[in-house]
Amino acid sequence: MFSLYIHIPFCVRKCLYCDFLSDAYSTELRAAYAEALNAEIKREAGFYRNRRVDTIFFGGGTPTLLTEEQLEELMETVWKNFDVAEDAEISMEMNPGTADWKKLVRMRQLGINRLSIGLQAAEDELLQKLGRIHTWKQFEEAYGMARAVGFRNINVDIMSALPGQKLADYEHTLQAVLSFEPEHISAYSLILEEGTPFYEQRESLALPEEEEERQMYDLTEKLLRAEGYHRYEISNYAKDGYECRHNLAYWRRTDYAGFGLGASSFISGVRFQNTRSMEQYLMGKRSKEQVEPLSREDAMEEFMFLGMRCMAGVSAEDFRQQFGTEMESVYGKVLTELEKQGLTAREGDRFFLTKRGIDVSNYVFAQFLL
């Protein structure tokens, strides 16, 4: 399994909760970035000449702010320089406020087969509070266009625990999204990240009480399960066969190469990260700086807390194959204690979170830090 991540840091404006590496760059700077991105992919592709690409993910920012010409050149660069599997999952994030019929048609022609639409909420008032650039109507139009041009694998992102959001509001968002029958739904709770406007305003934000937030969390699983979506990761739900293969690659710690500003790579147990400085990136310097290879202990920790994010949990046999030792010889006491607390369970050689464990997953993950 080998994946590519391509970062497009453009956005119309930053949302008030967003701490992603993105900004409202000028048209001229976007063009310069696209040129530098193509150059980086061509320059680095040789290191992966013998790898077949199974998934590609265009993230941001808002990748659909690329012009048609920039998108075509970028996809041409990928196709020419990588061995992309015929059945590769190729995803692109889209803000509903940037949907364009002509561009969507071209995206399908270029091989993009999965769309991830950032909705967040179905109420315009809440969207305005978040600093989103779109309305619910624009989401409806964008989704309709995506279906009309042939997208048959669509994810919709939604958020809970928003300022001023009530349980009824969140239920309305869930029901509204379900009426469109997307193949995948990602449902996240708002996190106040340092450096964002929301973090600075945290004392004055009218956030839901803890009990109401818990009710939203429980409602998500209940309603989505009733409509045929299975929860395969803490925040992700899919119809059968539509789990995001790219994200599963991250959680399973398989190799991936990242391109673009600040993009990370993970190759043979070593992490790399591009510069986060736009100025340096545009200069075309070799920007991937090798981070120290993960220690055996760090790798085991990652195996546990990334794997346990998924409902399938972690396999003792996979652990043995990767680390040459028994999982229970390293984590036996932890697993026994967590099972006593009702936070994990075991089936065959797999260990996974219980419903109660999912609710306190951060606590569970912390127990695996050696």
Across 305-317, average pLDDT: 95
Whether 334 has a pLDDT exceeding 60, the answer reads yes
At 47-66, the pLDDT tens digits run 998 899 999 999 999 999 99
- Which domains, ranges and CATH numbers included, belong to the chain? 2-250 (3.20.20.70), 295-370 (1.10.10.920)
pLDDT of residue 29: 93
CA atoms of 166 and 176, how far apart (whole Å): 15
Kindly state the tokens that stand for 88: 């590769």
Q: What percent of the chain has pLDDT over 70?
A: 98
Residue-level pLDDT at 24:
86
Which value, to the nearest 10 degrees, does the dihedral of the CA atoms of residues 195, 198, 203, 209 take? -130
Tokens, residue 186: 């990602």
How far apart are alpha carbons 114 and 170 in whole angstroms? 25
pLDDT level of residue 203 (50, 70, 90 thresholds): confident
**111-137 confidence digits (pLDDT tens):** 999 999 999 999 999 999 999 999 999
Give the model's confidence band at 103: pLDDT under 50 very low, under 70 low, under 90 confident, else very high: very high
Note the pLDDT of residue 153. 98
Contact 58, 6 (CB under 8 A): yes
Among candidate residues 164, 137, 74, the one with its CA nearest the CA of residue 110: 74
* pTM: predicted TM-score of the whole model, two decimal places: 0.94
User: What is the overall mean pLDDT for the chain?
Assistant: 94
Round to whole Å and give the CA distance between 74 and 215.
Answer: 43
pLDDT at 286 over 70: no
Q: Using pLDDT thresholds of 50, 70 and 90, give the confidence band for residue 38.
A: very high
67-78 pLDDT, tens digit each: 999 999 999 999
How far, in Å, CA of 311 to CA of 343, rounded?
13
Q: What is the DSSP string of 201-241?
A: TTTT--PPPHHHHHHHHHHHHHHHHHTT-EEEETTEEE-TT
Tell me, what's the pLDDT at 351?
96
pLDDT of 292 over the 90 cut:
no
Cα separation of 282 and 300, whole Å? 36
pLDDT for residue 288: 57
**pLDDT at position 248, please?**
96
